[in-house]
């Protein structure tokens, strides 16, 4: 685990649920067809940033986006080359595990999850 990911994980563990303490959680979209880390912890109000440093096109599609912002979810579904895309978790998002995948690489197992406390 990288130092940044470690710091973010600790931040998620000790963070408070107010917007003032909202954290940013980074997930890399890799050329090995993985989300890394595949599982991240977050809390309502946090922002998840998916970074594609390599350029192979990926997207983020939630298995159930009904509790997420509809426009944001739609935007995440667009294929992304080199760059980044993000999602701010709604402040009233219920605790649970929110699973997502990459459409072109779902068959190769490119999937991830956000565990919301």
Backbone angles phi, psi at 29, to 5 degrees: -105, 115
**Interacting stretch for Cu ion, rule CB under 5 A, among 16-24, 43-51, 87-95, 107-115?**
107-115
Which amino acids are annotated catalytic? 58, 102, 105, 110
Tell me, residue by residue from 66 to 105, as one string, x for binding to Cu ion by CB under 5 A and - for no binding: ------------------------------------x--x
Q: Does 110 bind Cu ion (CB under 5 A)?
A: yes
Among 34, 45, 58, 88, interactor with Cu ion by CB under 5 A? 58
What does 27-67 look like in DSSP terms, one character per residue? EEE-TTS-EESSEEEE-TT-EEEEEESS---B--EES--TT
Q: Are 98 and 116 in contact (CB under 8 A)?
A: yes
CB of 51 to Cu ion, least distance (A): 13
At its nearest, how many Å lie between Cu ion and the CB of residue 61? 10
Q: Which stretch binds Cu ion (CB under 5 A): 3-11, 13-21, 56-64, 89-97?
A: 56-64
Local structure of 16: helix, strand or coil? coil
Closer to Cu ion by CB, 5 or 56: give it.
56
The helix/strand/coil state of 21 is: helix
C-alpha angle 101-82-46 in degrees, rounded to nearest 5:
55
Instruction: Give the interface with Cu ion as residue ranges (CB under 5 A).
Output: 58, 102, 105, 110
């Amino acid at each position: 685990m990288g130092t940044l990911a470690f710091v973010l994980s600790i931040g998620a563990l000790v963070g408070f649920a107010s917007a003032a303490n909202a954290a940013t959680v980074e997930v890399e979209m890799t050329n090995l067809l993985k989300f890394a880390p595949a599982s991240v912890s977050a809390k309502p109000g946090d922002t998840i940033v998916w970074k594609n440093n390599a350029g192979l096109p990926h997207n983020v599609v939630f298995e159930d986006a009904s509790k997420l912002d509809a426009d944001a979810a739609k935007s995440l579904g667009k294929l992304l080359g080199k760059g980044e895309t993000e999602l701010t978790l709604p402040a009233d998002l219920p605790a649970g595990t929110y699973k997502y995948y990459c459409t072109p690489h779902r068959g190769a197992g490119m999937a991830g999850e956000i565990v919301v406390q």
